Amino acid sequence: MPVEQVRTLLVIALAVVSLLIWQAWRQDYGPKPTPPAPQSSTISGDAPTPAEAAAPDVPEAVTSDQPLTADAPEASESAVSGDFLSVRTDFYEAQISLIGGTLTRVDLLKYPVSAEKPDVPFTLLNGKPPGIFIAQSGLVGSTGAPNHHQRFRSASERYVMEDGQDTLVVPLIWEGSNGISVTKRYVFHRNRYKIDVGFEVTNNTQEDWQARMYGQFQRSVVEETRGLFRTYTYTGGVVSTPEKPYEKIDFSDMTKSNLDLSAQGGWIAMIQHYFAGAWIPDQNIDSRYYTKALVNQRYVIGLLTPPKIVPSGSRDTFELGLYVGPKIQARMQGVAPNLERTVDFGWLWLIAEPLFWLLDWIHDFIGNWGWSIIILTLMIKLAFFHLSATSYKSMARMRKVQPRIVAIRERYGKDKQRMNQAMMELYKKEKINPLGGCFPILVQIPVFIALYWVLLESVELRQASFIFWLNDLSVHDPFFVLPVLMGATMLIQQKLNPPPPDPMQAKIMMALPFVFTFFFLFFPSGLVLYWFVNNLLSIAQQWVITRKIVGHA
């Protein structure tokens, strides 16, 4: 194998590993958002004092003509036991605070916290520190509009979706001293992760009444355990508009400046690995999207609907959609345009999305994600069969002429110009392309990286079992059997390749299987399974081609 080819292979291999290590480093040791200057902030259950009239986590009600002054939140009692009501549906065990009607806790009943604890549901929304993540909503207007600091009342402390019931309505009542009464409603649907949130306003005053509805997430930044091998995934805000279907607004962005954007349609979201919360307005209206950085590394991302006038003596409704659940593309596609983009496949999403579609299609027939990965690997291998064959033929021809290459190196010694000239003449005579074995590998690298993100980001593979001890393909093999087997296949492949004539290059090439095995120890087992099966298929193909060319020399 010539020096050029060895160097190219090393660059390709190290580039892939370096990219993945850099992503892990960026998450673990990269710059963290700087806490903003201290300012007062309240969350669900925390009562604002009269001095906190202009609560910083309540959006300003701004029209296109003139600003409206949001009513100061009333001083409410501190939330205690009994200030929360519980909701249970087929998908959720939820908790709603009577302070603001804020959704303070959501447990996803279909998603256990871990494979070892199948009866403990994963908690997505949580109103308790340190990991605060809550969904707030309210009205801001000229007079008497209940925001998420106002106290509501409820006729019941527990709401349960019974068998055969398709919807569950949870009403909360607020009555202002100025003649405005409001019913806030959560409407939960069977077999859906979308919740309808609305405010029905009755104007019993002698004047027209105007307000805007807002929906926002408040989240705190929690310092996570650092580690070189912990896989990087994005946690933060996202805003979608027709002009920019998917734009990340991370916590450092929120710290630097407040987002203030108006657009027709779209949505805002707060996402994390596998799960997301999103507020979705009517796609035919103009909404204002905003962010705020609060105290103690808490951040708000939300939206404001256009102002609506409720005439004197009449009634009207303000509505928003709320998605709280797993990032399942098939479900998200029917909720809002581009919401499925929260399944972040990275910059190679154009390749990753067809790969996921194909993997999901195979799973519909097989019913097991591990075997689906194996079949997908076989299909990818067939797609690159001719490219791989070209690579292996080039390597086999190099192996065939290896003794002559060694002889040339020994003959010309340190005269590199004469040596390279003689080697090029040999390649030309034997019709060998020195880089013929590299290009097919280079073409397959984007597919590998795209598949890496598919297996990492797809919640469908979370806690997906395969065989024996592999009960979660989204995490590393607990006994490291797959990485070791993968490293063994790489070692076998090295033996099938022509050895570099340079002793130092030979040592480097022989070290690569051990280096890759080390880094793959903590890769998702689904990805290691793909690499292992791909290596097995490559060994079979390369052995046949090498035997055909070299064996009959």
For 240-256, write each residue's pLDDT tens digit. 999 999 999 999 999 99
Residue 229 scores a pLDDT above 80: no
**What's the angle, vertex CA 298, arms to CA 296 and CA 301, rounded to 5?**
160
206 CB-near residues (< 8 Å, 6+ apart): 312
High-pLDDT (> 90) share of the chain, %: 48
Per domain, the residue ranges of the chain are 3-25+352-549, 43-344
pLDDT at 156: 93
Q: Is the dihedral of CA 91, 364, 486, 501 positive or negative?
A: negative
541 CB-near residues (< 8 Å, 6+ apart): 381, 385, 388, 389, 392
Q: How many H helices and E strands in the chain? A: 12, 19
The span from the CA of 58 to the CA of 139, in Å, is 9
Residue 483 scores a pLDDT above 70: yes
Instruction: Identify the CA nearest to 298 among candidates 33, 28, 14.
Output: 33
The span from the CA of 127 to the CA of 516, in Å, is 42
Average confidence (pLDDT) over 450-455: 86
Lowest average pLDDT, out of 93-102, 263-272, 359-368, 381-390, goes to 381-390
Partners of 271 in the beta sheet? 236, 276
Average confidence (pLDDT) over 426-443: 67
- Is residue 495 very low, low, confident or very high in pLDDT (cuts 50, 70, 90)? confident
Task: Name the token pair of 397.
Answer: 């021809």
Task: Name the token pair of 436.
Answer: 């013929």
The span from the CA of 202 to the CA of 219, in Å, is 32
pLDDT at 51: 31
Average confidence (pLDDT) over 68-76: 33
Q: How far apart are the first and last CA of the chain?
A: 18
Partners of 432 in the beta sheet? none
Mean pLDDT for all residues in the chain: 81
Residue 73 scores a pLDDT above 60: no
Residue 417 scores a pLDDT above 90: no
Q: Is the dihedral of CA 474, 480, 485, 490 positive or negative?
A: positive
Residue 82 scores a pLDDT above 50: no
**What's the angle, vertex CA 505, arms to CA 501 and CA 509, rounded to 5?**
110
3-state secondary structure of 349: helix
Which CATH number, 2.70.98.90, 3.40.50.150, 3.30.450.20, 3.30.230.70, labels domain 43-344?
2.70.98.90
Helices 439-457 and 525-549: crossing angle in degrees, nearest 10, is 160
Q: What is the CA radius of gyration of the chain?
A: 30
- Is residue 225 very low, low, confident or very high in pLDDT (cuts 50, 70, 90)? low
High-pLDDT (> 70) share of the chain, %: 78
Task: Name the token pair of 140.
Answer: 């801001």
- Is residue 501 very low, low, confident or very high in pLDDT (cuts 50, 70, 90)? low
3-state secondary structure of 228: coil
The span from the CA of 18 to the CA of 20, in Å, is 5
Task: Name the token pair of 162.
Answer: 């019974």
b (16+ CB within 10 A) / e for 426-444 = ebeeeebebebbbebbbeb
Of 123-132, 266-275, 395-404, where does the model show the most confidence? 266-275
**What's the angle, vertex CA 520, arms to CA 515 and CA 521, rounded to 5?**
105
Q: Which residue type, as a one-letter code, is found at position 245?
A: P
Average confidence (pLDDT) over 202-213: 92
Partners of 86 in the beta sheet? 95, 158
The span from the CA of 281 to the CA of 272, in Å, is 21
Lowest average pLDDT, out of 117-121, 153-157, 368-372, 501-505, goes to 501-505
Please tell me which residue, 438 or 195, carries the higher pLDDT value: 195
Q: How far is CA 551 from the centre of its chain?
A: 49
pLDDT at 18: 53
pLDDT at 161: 96
pLDDT at 551: 59
Average confidence (pLDDT) over 249-269: 94
pLDDT at 20: 52
User: Which of left, alpha, beta for 82 (phi over 0: left; psi -120 to 50: alpha)?
Assistant: left
DSSP label at 226? P
- Is residue 349 very low, low, confident or very high in pLDDT (cuts 50, 70, 90)? confident
pLDDT at 414: 72
Strands 308-310 and 267-271: unpaired
Q: Which residue type, as a one-letter code, is found at position 361?
A: W
Please tell me which residue, 43 or 178, carries the higher pLDDT value: 178
Residue 177 scores a pLDDT above 80: no
Residue 38 scores a pLDDT above 60: no
Q: Is the dihedral of CA 537, 543, 549, 552 positive or negative?
A: negative
Strand boundaries in 7-97, DSSP class E:
84-88, 92-97
Task: Name the token pair of 178.
Answer: 């100025």
pLDDT at 53: 34
| Cut 0.95: pTM above it | no
- Is residue 6 very low, low, confident or very high in pLDDT (cuts 50, 70, 90)? very low
- Is residue 343 very low, low, confident or very high in pLDDT (cuts 50, 70, 90)? very high
Lowest average pLDDT, out of 36-50, 123-137, 223-237, 401-415, goes to 36-50
Lowest average pLDDT, out of 68-77, 315-324, 333-342, 493-502, goes to 68-77
Instruction: Identify the CA nearest to 344 among candidates 420, 427, 281, 271.
Output: 271
Lowest average pLDDT, out of 87-96, 150-159, 163-172, 214-223, goes to 214-223
